[in-house]
Amino acid sequence: MDVNGDGQIDILSGSYSRMDRSMAGLFQVLWGNGKGGFRAAKALEGTDGKPLIIAVDNPKDPDLPRICTRPTAVDLDGDGKLDIVSGNFEGTFVLFRGEGRGRFAPRSTRLVSKSGKPLKVDAHSDPFFIDWDGDGDLDLVSGSSGGSVYLFRNEGSKTKPSFADSITLFRPAKHPMSPDGITLGSAHITGPGHAVRVFVADVDEDGKLDLLLGDSVTIYAPAKGLTEAAVHERMKSWSKKQEALGKEMAQAQRSKDNPRIRSAQKAYSAHWKAREKICSSDMTGFVWLLRQK
């Protein structure tokens, strides 16, 4: 997308990190250099000269609404200036008004429905704007952490958007799981899983918009020499110990006792490492095409 209107394609990204708290919520931009490449990433600034960051009012967890799952530059109000709409971990959508030429208002506001309630998905909002119903204005489509895809119809206009409450376009099938939470193999993966990201296009050129969904899945397999029954049996004990270690970690963090915290972290990490002797886990993902009927 050409964020600053200079005729060059730029790359816009949110920051998806809790490891460095100063990065939580920053928008990164790689400006096109006019030679088919991009300049080094830098924090996108508002008109006040400070890095854009999602506004948070009295949060229980200040990072949750700030971590940007997907920002997109779109002329939401039809004034000829690109705005930024971003998703976040808590599942809401925030807007930075565009001032033109890659400049944006420094404070964000939440997108709300006609009833005044924040537009929201279960978690990890994923905004994509397109005229879904063909009435000439931009509607909002979003993926989510749970795998569902939602539509918020624009019942206002191109210049004064007003979004209705969500309609579910897709909901992932539920698969039975063992008590230990491990489903071995990949035969059960027959459709999009969780952490879904959405792109909308008429892929087959039949006049109907289709959904392209990227997801995240973990495929488990028994460790060498173990049967499936043995994996499930050992995972019962592993899961029970994991729960105990998790409680100890929480108690250690509340105590603010650094040696105790380090000890708890070490034990927790070692326990996760030990799971490799029970089963392997391959984190991957797929792109799924859902054609509209």
pLDDT in tens, 131-142: 999 999 999 999
Higher-scoring residue by pLDDT: 213, 180: 213
- Cβ neighbours of residue 230 closer than 8 Å, sequence gap 6 or more: 222
- Identity at 91, one-letter amino acid code: G
pLDDT in tens, 110-154: 999 988 999 999 999 999 999 999 999 999 999 999 999 999 999
pTM for the structure as a whole: 0.87
